[in-house]
Amino acid sequence: METKPVVIVKDLVKKFGDFTAVNQISFEVKQGKIFGFLGPNGSGKTTTIRMMLGILKPTSGAIEILGQAIDGMNQDLRTRIGYMSQRFSLYNDLTVLQNLEFYGASYGLENSILKGRINRALELAGLVGKKSTPTKDLSGGWRQRLALSVAIIHNPELIFLDEPTAGVDPISRRAFWDLLYDLVEQGVTIFVTTHYMDEAEHCHQLGFIQEGNIIALGSPDEIKQKTFANDVIQITPNDPGKTIQVIHELQKEGKVSIAGVELYGAQVHVYAKNSQKVGKIIKSEMKRQNIQIRHVSLIKPTLEDVFIANVRLANEKKNAES
């Protein structure tokens, strides 16, 4: 069943002097969904969130949140949304419980309501056994859970999360996303910025932003189908750096036609349409140059593959226009 948008952003622009941080972007976020806003550091993610929260005034464009046009943050809307910043705005000298009590009171929750909300937040985040622990003694993963608990203490309809898993270990990241899915099942809408491509797979809708421009928009599968026309040849060599160098040489000599080659951990990903022919030529050249190939396979593109391809296309378009 199609849900209504709770966030509508139209032709949004933010300039700082001559620098354009956000360049005429438009998107919608549907109710009860996770919208992932992906891009490298400095791409415009945080600036966009700050405009959506009414903290920054747009240069031009329009924002509508939960049916209200944004022109600064009014008190009514403040009680309907939650926000978790990159820096986890917590008081280190207070305990877990005291932080929740303080933020609950700041939202105007009466004591009779606040106690129940705190218990619910503690249970959801698995913090019941840590409520008397000083916040400064919590690990990064537990601080992250507490920050989310603070952001939802007032039962918001919409939550903004700005790089919530930055600097957190993989196990804590996975547990955090389980918490987000629990909230979505309760009808909460989530807008999350991240530069972790594996997290993007957990989102219902995505927006890729690069240098202030949205370069792809849709569900993970839609973005892959619309913007990635190549196969991915995954190569596991003993020398990835040398392998990439050799493949570039094959491309320059016109021996292979590829859309790109990227280092992917200890592996190399080659993007090509005629993948079987390209794979054979590469394997043959690696053998000739005594580079050991442990494994070669054709795989489905990851979102990181797709993002890299979209960034490359955006850069090529920008260079062609300049």
In the predicted model, what is the mean pLDDT of residues 123-137? 91
Are 150 and 281 found together in one domain? no
Look at phi and psi of residue 49 and say left if phi exceeds 0, alpha if psi is from -120 to 50, else beta: alpha
In the predicted model, what is the mean pLDDT of residues 13-21? 96
DSSP assignments along 118-184, one per residue: HHHHHHHHT-GGGTTSBGGGS-HHHHHHHHHHHHHTT--SEEEEESTTTT--HHHHHHHHHHHHHHH
Are 30 and 121 found together in one domain? yes
Are 152 and 83 found together in one domain? yes
Instruction: State how many domains the chain has.
Output: 2
Are 100 and 192 found together in one domain? yes
| Strands ordered across the beta sheet of 5-16 | 19-30, 5-16, 60-65, 68-69
Are 233 and 174 found together in one domain? no
Are 205 and 112 found together in one domain? yes
Q: Above 70 in pLDDT, residue 126?
A: yes
In the predicted model, what is the mean pLDDT of residues 225-251? 92
In the predicted model, what is the mean pLDDT of residues 160-189? 88
Q: Is residue 89 part of a domain?
A: yes
Question: Residue 1 — pLDDT band, cuts 50, 70, 90?
Answer: low
Are 215 and 254 found together in one domain? no
Are 183 and 266 found together in one domain? no
Q: Is residue 321 part of a domain?
A: no
The CATH number for 190's domain is: 3.40.50.300
Are 292 and 209 found together in one domain? no
State the residue range of the domain holding 152: 5-225
Are 86 and 210 found together in one domain? yes
Distances (CA, A) of 237 to 244, 261, 263, 278, 297: 10, 14, 11, 16, 12
User: Domain boundary residue among 168, 195, 225?
Assistant: 225
Q: Is residue 318 part of a domain?
A: no
Q: Above 90 in pLDDT, residue 22?
A: yes
How do residues 51-96 score in pLDDT, each as one tens digit?
A: 999 889 999 999 999 999 987 656 678 889 999 887 667 899 999 9
Are 234 and 170 found together in one domain? no
pLDDT at 284: 94
Amino acid in the structure at residue 295 = H
Q: Above 80 in pLDDT, residue 206?
A: yes
How do residues 111-120 score in pLDDT, each as one tens digit?
A: 889 999 999 8
How high is the mean pLDDT of the chain?
90
pTM: 0.84
User: Domain boundary residue among 225, 243, 258?
Assistant: 225
Are 73 and 202 found together in one domain? yes
